[in-house]
Amino acid sequence: TQDPALRGQSGPGSGPRLARTMLGQVVLPGEELLLPESAGPNAEGSAEQMLRLGSIVRPRARVVCGPGLRRCGDRLLVTKCGRLRHKEPGGGGGGGVYWVDSQQKRYVPVKGDHVIGIVTAKSGDLFKVDVGGSEPASLSYLAFEGATKRNRPNVQVGDLIYGQFVVANKDMEPEMVCIDSNGRANGMGVIGQDGLLFKVTLGLIRKLLAPECEIIQEIGKLYPLEIVFGMNGRIWVKARTIQQTLILANVLEACEHMTTEQRKQIFSRLSES
């Protein structure tokens, strides 16, 4: 009988497949993926074997399970639909990171994410900030740069806040702060007056925040502007006039579905007018 790991890319429902062969392809929730055996004495012998936890002590590459994947025994279980991606380990050991590039509009708070929130309530020492998740996050008034008990930050209900999460899990209410670990604001805090806040999908935000994103460079050449990206799908834009701000907002929303040529056309038309 054929070892299931060797079957590779057979038809659907034929058993778990190798993670390596599925890179860049669409995976659906419920699929199981096998990890290749790390470089060990048996690597050359049998092609890929399932990882056996707690078995012979062998140098085993540590594979990190990213968003959309979950460890299930010795395999990876897909929990979101999207494309499977892999990143080689940069420095030392490890087997790299596997994750699923999925698209969604609804945000789930994650620790360390920088988000834009709207202050909805002020109660004593705490602000309640709506970040688009299932619960409003709490923000202490001392979590601003230079804030003390006497020197309170000037935050009103309805203000926009750019901060990061320090506590974000499914069991507790999320908490955010506007300072980094050194106590400096580092760009976080209350976002200024005017401007426009609008919502896009999470995948678009990740694309725009990728290093050397063409869209951002081209937008920067169009008009002088201020822009803040929140990982919860919210973007705040401010340009010199309302007209320009609206144009920028509409262009960014449309970038989701535009191809490169269409985008370049639109930008060239805008820069002419």
Pick one of 18, 63, 168, 249: the residue that binds another protein (CB under 8 A): 249
Orientation of helix 260-272 relative to helix 214-222, angle to 10°: 10
The stretch among 6-14, 136-144, 166-174, 247-255 that binds another protein (CB under 8 A) is 247-255
What does the DSSP assignment read for 126-194? EEEEE-SSSSPEEEETTSSTT--SSS-----TT-EEEEEEEE--TTS--EEESS-TTS--TT-EEE-SS
Closest CA to 38 of 77, 94, 100: 94
* Contact flag: residue 259 with another protein (CB under 8 A): yes
Least distance from C-beta 207 to another protein, angstroms? Answer: 4
User: Which CB sits closer to another protein, 62 or 106?
Assistant: 106
* Contact flag: residue 273 with another protein (CB under 8 A): no
# residues contacting another protein (CB under 8 A): 25
Sign of CA dihedral 121, 126, 130, 133: negative
* Contact flag: residue 170 with another protein (CB under 8 A): no
**Which long-range contacts link 226-230 to residues 24+ away (Cβ below 8 Å)?**
226/192, 226/195, 228/116, 228/162, 228/191, 229/116, 229/205, 230/114, 230/115, 230/116, 230/117, 230/131, 230/162, 230/205
The stretch among 34-42, 52-60, 158-166, 240-248 that binds another protein (CB under 8 A) is 240-248
User: Which CB sits closer to another protein, 153 or 233?
Assistant: 233
* Contact flag: residue 83 with another protein (CB under 8 A): yes
d(CA 105, CA 251): 18
| Residue 220, H or E segment | helix 214-222
* Contact flag: residue 151 with another protein (CB under 8 A): no
Residues 98-117 that bind another protein (CB under 8 A): 101, 103, 106
Residues 19-78 that bind another protein (CB under 8 A): none
Pick one of 50, 81, 147, 258: the residue that binds another protein (CB under 8 A): 258
Pick one of 149, 150, 170, 257: the residue that binds another protein (CB under 8 A): 257
Residues lying near another protein in the complex (CB under 8 A) are found at: 82-83, 101, 103, 106, 132, 196, 198, 201, 203-204, 206-207, 242-243, 246, 249-250, 255-261
